Amino acid sequence: MARSQYRKLKTAGELHRLMSMHYGQARFLRLGRPVAWVTSGAPVEILRAMHLLPLYPENYGALCGARRQAVGLCQAAEAKGYSPDLCSYARSSLGSIFDSRSAPMHGLPKPDVLVCCNNICGTVVKWYEAVARHYGVPLFILDAPFIHDDVRPHLLKYVQDQLAELIRFLQSKTGRQLRMERLQQVVGLSNDAVQLWSEIRALCKAKPSPLNAGDLFVNMAPIVVLRGTRSAVRFYEHLKAEVEERVRNGEGAVPSERWRLLWDNIAVWHHLYPFYNYFVEYDGCFVVDTYTGSWSQEVSSGEPLHGLATAYATVFLNRSLEYRTDLMVDLIEAYDVDGFVMHCNRSCKPYSLGQYAIKRAITERTGVPGLIVEADMCDSRSFAPEAVRTRVQAFMEALAG
């Protein structure tokens, strides 16, 4: 049995500086650039190529959750009539607008435009409608229909046609122009970062795994909010070097790693490390997860709008439950996983509602046991640590037994 501990990465300082720059830039170093609030699955390469400053309310929500400041902000949104059953990222974000004084960094700077893509969920459409209504700023919704079966050509055409609309929209609302060569450049940088991040995650096939889920969730931030920039590429080069070094030296994130686990869904931000430590106590390490790999699709070469449409229309959360089950079975085999844990996240229906069906299917196909744990990614009121801990104990003891 290991003591709960965390092996800090040397690149942690660089990560912190990068994220501070990201948030600080929009507030203090704008240099006349328009600010856009964007969803995590938006084709940000287009915005970066037009020299807009993208900000991510979802990442901000995760930050509020991690700092344990989300509850107060959620309550501010609830006071305006927003149901407590709504996504806690949305409530935190809206709450930070209504009560900016209580919010980390006093909230995000007011956006000039909003770009929302529903490839991750339908909630973002309603959330961004609310933000557009509040600020009176233009909103573009990129409609990426959910894929129940195969990827149909007319779906890709629909998304690609809208990307051309998006460019026209941004040009009209911000006065910025898009040069195709610049877009190609940004797409190249995005692909570089995505490839590095994929390689880093693949290094966790080593035994012991150099990283635990907490590391994956913290270090995914640049792939989400800085994708398309040189600093993201540099950071992941440094991180990859460090992780490779750990593998060479046989240094595991959990030195006494005995059980290799797969994590499904978003992290429980308000208990990020403590939660994974429940498993560390039983020599369990999360060597792979389904969320941080969502940004692992490279944009194919050729016509950039076609490549972007394909990459963004086919993200993990836009695919059927059967597709996701197949992916998880592949991960279990590739990473030699002994058990899987699914965070049944109150805030995320597309990710959580299918978990009972997926869990049954995975165990049927692989024999690997799973555990479903109810919580919320950001709102700590929906988390009962002692109850969860008991279930973790039972699960890990069953693995050993």
The residues that touch another protein, with contacts defined as CB under 8 A, are 80-83, 85-87, 118, 121-123, 125-127, 129-130, 132-133, 139, 141, 143, 145-146, 148-149, 152, 154-155, 157-158, 161-162, 165, 320-322, 325, 344, 346, 349-350, 352-358, 361, 374
* Radius of gyration in angstroms for the set of CA atoms belonging to the chain, rounded to a whole number: 21
Q: Which residue do the tokens 């900016």 mark?
A: 100
- Nearest-CA neighbor of 185 among 32, 311, 46, 36? 46
Query: Which is closer to another protein, CB of 245 or CB of 303?
Result: 303
**Cβ distance 229 to 54 under 8 Å?**
no
State in angstroms the smallest separation of the CB of 107 from another protein: 19
Query: Which is closer to another protein, CB of 78 or CB of 242?
Result: 78
State in angstroms the smallest separation of the CB of 135 from another protein: 12
CA distance 395 to 341: 10
State in angstroms the smallest separation of the CB of 87 from another protein: 7
Cβ-proximal residues to 105 (8 Å cutoff; 6+ apart), any chain: 23, 27
State in angstroms the smallest separation of the CB of 366 from another protein: 16
State in angstroms the smallest separation of the CB of 144 from another protein: 9
Query: Which is closer to another protein, CB of 161 or CB of 245?
Result: 161
Query: Which is closer to another protein, CB of 134 or CB of 179?
Result: 134
State in angstroms the smallest separation of the CB of 360 from another protein: 8
Query: Which is closer to another protein, CB of 18 or CB of 155?
Result: 155
Helix spans in 148-256 (H): 153-174, 180-202, 213-219, 221-225, 230-248
φ, ψ (nearest 5 deg) of residue 45:
-55, -40
- Paired with 35 in beta bridges are 53
φ, ψ (nearest 5 deg) of residue 31:
50, 40
State in angstroms the smallest separation of the CB of 153 from another protein: 9
* 3-state DSSP assignment of residue 147: strand
Q: What would the two tokens of residue 181 be?
A: 């060569």
CA distance 79 to 93: 14
Query: Which is closer to another protein, CB of 111 or CB of 210?
Result: 111
Supply the DSSP symbol for 319: B
Query: Which is closer to another protein, CB of 57 or CB of 214?
Result: 57
